[in-house]
Chain A
């Protein structure tokens, strides 16, 4: 295979652009078998149907692979990196292999933006790690724009023209524009509220709107916690007020918090805080309780958009 990019140590992050189930099963099973043969811990997080293809191809060896349903584990793509870090952490000191398929055709636009951002952030989170990550992309069902982003977020490619490096991969690190340009504007029906220290009022507003939108009570509490954590950062880190904007449709309720704070760490909220740590829990909690989180930050301020599903998403194949 092609060499890893300079400075990335032994870390390999490969987009596998596949055209058929047979090609998928053979290549992914081969990748995992290679890991097992080298006595490397192997982990595969893929949609359930794909997991069956892999398990069938592996036969008895499938028992030695850790499997996860990516439609659950990665429903919010912001939770994937900490799960994979848990896996590498459990096997510290050993080279590992991971198959992660976080992108499927029925993902909505906001989910696709976040899943693409997740793929880009993999390069930061695992830079220099002793690991190989294979990310399958279904060329038959994904759009050309999504596949073009796969070439931007992966230094290495495996396609029908064989293994190679991606000419589109950005060095130094840069997020693809699809997941870093400003978010689409909220609908004109959205409600806005400017807060400074009245976090209790912020929470009451979120609770009222979420209940009216039909979000079940335990999820209302989740959303209240998430918004409160983000609004608390306005108080902690900025001298000015913040704006809460809320809207909903049939499927989801969205709360957006904007303030003048700047978040410089692209991985904020994607690392599990150490036990007893006296910081780093805010954005971690936001990602753990929300169905989707979008973050945009530059030197003029930060926007964090928290999505909660009122009804379940359409499942992947």
Chain B
């Protein structure tokens, strides 16, 4: 089984459609290129909103964080929004220590993220 599993879905919600990217497993330097390809592909579709569901992620290192920060920059430039949802505590702590949570909103759940 892959160390990092990703799945992408276009969600037609009542309020606003969004792209949901679910990450599960461990995201580190050995799979950050694959994660970058997944996010680049979605960002290229110029979505209004991308939500990354981190609930299945046991571990994330700074390489994966940099990929997410890059995606945030790219989305921001084209007027889109990136949000992170339901990180487990170790991942949430890493987002705080790097102050990434000051740049990218972090929500307790995907539904909270869609409510903005």
Question: Are the C-beta atoms of B103 and A225 separated by less than 8 Å?
Answer: no
Question: With A and B bound together, what is the CA distance between A224 and B59 in angstroms?
Answer: 9
Question: With A and B bound together, what is the CA distance between A249 and B89 in angstroms?
Answer: 27
In the complex, what residue of chain B is closest to A220 when comparing beta carbons? B90
In the complex, what residue of chain B is closest to A233 when comparing beta carbons? B29
**A-B pairs with CB below 8 Å: how many?**
67
- Using C-beta atoms within 8 Å of the partner chain, give the interface range for chain B: 20 to 34
Chain B residues lying within 8 Å of A272, measured Cβ to Cβ, are 99
Chain A residues lying within 8 Å of B73, measured Cβ to Cβ, are 276
Closest beta carbon of chain B to A175's beta carbon, Å: 26
Chain A residues lying within 8 Å of B9, measured Cβ to Cβ, are none
A8 interface residue (CB < 8 Å to B): no
Chain B residues lying within 8 Å of A236, measured Cβ to Cβ, are 29, 63
- Using C-beta atoms within 8 Å of the partner chain, give the interface range for chain A: 20 to 34
Beyond A221-B89, A221-B93, A276-B73, whether A281 also contacts B29 by CB under 8 A is no
Stretch at the interface among A32-40, A113-121, A282-290, A296-304: A282-290
Closest beta carbon of chain A to B105's beta carbon, Å: 14
Question: Are the C-beta atoms of A288 and B62 separated by less than 8 Å?
Answer: no
A185 interface residue (CB < 8 Å to B): no
**24 A–B contacts, CB within 8 A, in A order:** A200-B26, A218-B90, A221-B89, A221-B90, A222-B90, A225-B59, A225-B61, A225-B90, A225-B94, A228-B28, A229-B61, A229-B62, A232-B63, A235-B29, A272-B99, A275-B99, A275-B102, A277-B69, A278-B70, A279-B66, A281-B65, A285-B62, A288-B97, A289-B93
Which 9 pairs across A and B sit closest by C-beta, in order of nearness? A221-B90, A281-B62, A232-B29, A278-B66, A288-B97, A276-B103, A282-B62, A281-B98, A199-B28
